[in-house]
Amino acid sequence: MTNSSSISLDEQAIAWLVRTSDPQFDDWEAFEEWLGASPAHADAYHAAAADEAEMVAALAAEPQPLVEPVRRPPRTRRWVGGALAASLLAAIGIATLRPAADQIYETAAGTRRTLALADGSSIALNGGTRIAIEGDDPRAVTVERGEALFVVRNGASDPFTVSVGDATVVDIGTTFDIVRDTRETRVAVAEGAVMWNRNGEAVTLRAGRTLRAVDGSAVMTVSDISPRAIGGWSRGQLVFDEAPLSQVAQELSRTLGVPVSVVPGAEARQVRGVVAIEGRADAVMGRIGPLLGLDVEREGRGWRLAASP
Amino acid sequence: MHGPRSLGAATNSAYLAVFVACLILATSPFAAMDTSGLEAVFLASRDALLRFLRAHGAGEAAEDLLHELWIRVRAARPGPIANPLSYLYRAANNLIVDRVRSERQAASRDKAWTDASSEPAGEAQGERMLIAREQVARAAAALAELGPRVETVFRRHRLDGVPQRALAEELGVSLSTIESDLRRAAQALIALRRSFDED
């Protein structure tokens, strides 16, 4: 920065923030010189960068309404209305300047939401989920993380495709569920069939089958699953059919938005049962013990599952 | 005249080493060539990156942060990178900002936990989500108030990741106009964020 004494420290910090946020910025030496000139410079930059990043994260989580959500908790309608109006304004401003951008949909941990697509298909999002629907093709979806249940209206000439990790899932008239967890993907088919494609290799997955794969690894496992157990969360229940405790904990944690762990050594223990997930997390966790034959204990802000003796 | 000769020899053996390394990488199906190239740059730039982290005020934690930086970069498994050193500086910068953010979040969680420990957890969580939604709406409104170009520039740059130069060409304005739009948007959002803390 030249002439740095005449503009305030906050303004200098914001100017550097703008420059460093450009993916093509490369004058790190000049930035280092400014940062190192006084500890107050670094503090002002950190405060500006953290504040701005939080606002960007918030704006990124706010979907732009091309498809209308099917159900929405009535308590939140007031705020959503304001956000819709604001992003509609944004959409009008942007529409004249650029081609259709991807629509991002994101749910907070412990919340669920269903999207109805124009072609009659629907996508239910479990908690902590982020997906992108291509602006130019609503039948091309990317699951970035979390869990989504797809109910796809058939269209032979226009297949429905879902990108997840390093693979693509092509639908053949179906209900299927995708879980995306860091680099791991699980696909489970409740009705019909899907085609799993990765690096030119294709696997057909029929109803009642589930596939697990990790990005970059050639190994994938295919096994049986009760179709009833697939996407139960979107109907207000979790169905466990010989499910290992590690998976039970993951599903509870994603669906309820609270940390759930398993006592070491009990991860592989299998349980069966149906758990209603309506109500508060502590009420749901209170019901689970007797239903699944588990000991459920508080652990910090979350819970821990153990096999009953 | 020993200097130039030994320098030449050293350069030749360096080329040979690089050639052999490339050969090994090219023939090994699982080797991550990009990461290995990046690792060489990382090792060669250790001191510069440490200086950068210290300029950020990292102090004694700089060595640990550098280690964390490498773990992060390796886990991200980036594709081919045009400017590896700049990539590493950026990753170091992001690491610092993420640190600041997570320290703040931990502090506000502890506060919320103390405030909310007398009421049921579910309700407190629901209340916080409502507040968060309101804040998102206000952020979008603050951005819209700056006019369609500023809003478009900010969203395209910060949400879609379009470089500033490309935006200038796309919108037919100068780079300094783009920078000034981005400064205005950042300023408005930061001021709004700070007003939330005062509420």
A141-159 per-position pLDDT tens digit: 999 988 999 988 776 567 8
- Contact of A202 with chain B, judged by CB distance below 8 Å, is answered with no
Query: Is A255 within 8 Å of A277 (Cβ atoms)?
Result: yes
More confident residue, B166 or A98: B166
Query: Is A29 within 8 Å of A43 (Cβ atoms)?
Result: no
Nearest chain B CA: its distance from A47 CA (Å): 8
Strands A260-262 and A237-244: unpaired
pLDDT class of B63 with cuts at 50, 70, 90 = very high
Nearest chain A CA: its distance from B1 CA (Å): 36
pLDDT for the residue A281: 84
Query: Within 10 Å of residue A90's Cβ, how many Cβ atoms?
Result: 21
Helix (H, G, I), strand (E, B) or coil at B135: helix
Beta-carbon contacts of A236 under 8 Å, excluding residues fewer than 6 positions away, are A276, A277, A278
pTM of the model: 0.48
Is residue B31 predicted with pLDDT exceeding 50?
no
Please state, rounded to an integer, the average pLDDT across all residues of chain A.
80
pLDDT for the residue A64: 45
pLDDT for the residue A156: 56
A48 burial via Cβ count (<10 Å: 0-12, 13-18, 19+): buried
Question: A45-54, A88-97, B31-40 — which one is most confidently predicted on average?
Answer: A45-54
- Contact of A182 with chain B, judged by CB distance below 8 Å, is answered with no
User: Which of B89, B101, B136, B162 best probes binding to A when mutated, by most A CB atoms within 10 angstroms?
Assistant: B136
Q: What is the pLDDT of residues A79-88, one digit of tens each?
A: 444 455 555 4
pLDDT for the residue A3: 47
pLDDT for the residue B6: 40
Region of B163 on the Ramachandran plot (φ > 0 left; ψ -120 to 50 alpha; else beta): beta
Q: What is the pLDDT of residues A237-256, one digit of tens each?
A: 888 877 888 888 988 888 88
- Contact of A25 with chain B, judged by CB distance below 8 Å, is answered with yes
Mean pLDDT to the nearest integer, B128-152: 82
- Is A18 within 8 Å of B179 when comparing Cβ atoms? yes
- Is B101 within 8 Å of A54 when comparing Cβ atoms? yes
- Is B97 within 8 Å of A43 when comparing Cβ atoms? no
Length of chain B: 199
- Contact of A217 with chain B, judged by CB distance below 8 Å, is answered with no
> What does the alpha-carbon distance between residue B102 and residue A46 come to, in Å, rounded to a whole number?
12
- Is B140 within 8 Å of A49 when comparing Cβ atoms? no
Query: Within 10 Å of residue A49's Cβ, how many Cβ atoms?
Result: 25
pLDDT class of A177 with cuts at 50, 70, 90 = very high
pLDDT class of B191 with cuts at 50, 70, 90 = very high
Question: A37-46, A57-66, A100-109 — which one is most confidently predicted on average?
Answer: A37-46
pLDDT class of A26 with cuts at 50, 70, 90 = very high
Is residue A16 predicted with pLDDT exceeding 80?
yes
pLDDT for the residue B50: 96
CA-nearest residue to A10 within chain B is B187
pLDDT for the residue B4: 39
Nearest to A52 among B113, B152, B189 (CB): B189
Is residue B195 predicted with pLDDT exceeding 60?
yes
Is residue A276 predicted with pLDDT exceeding 70?
yes
- Is B190 within 8 Å of A111 when comparing Cβ atoms? no
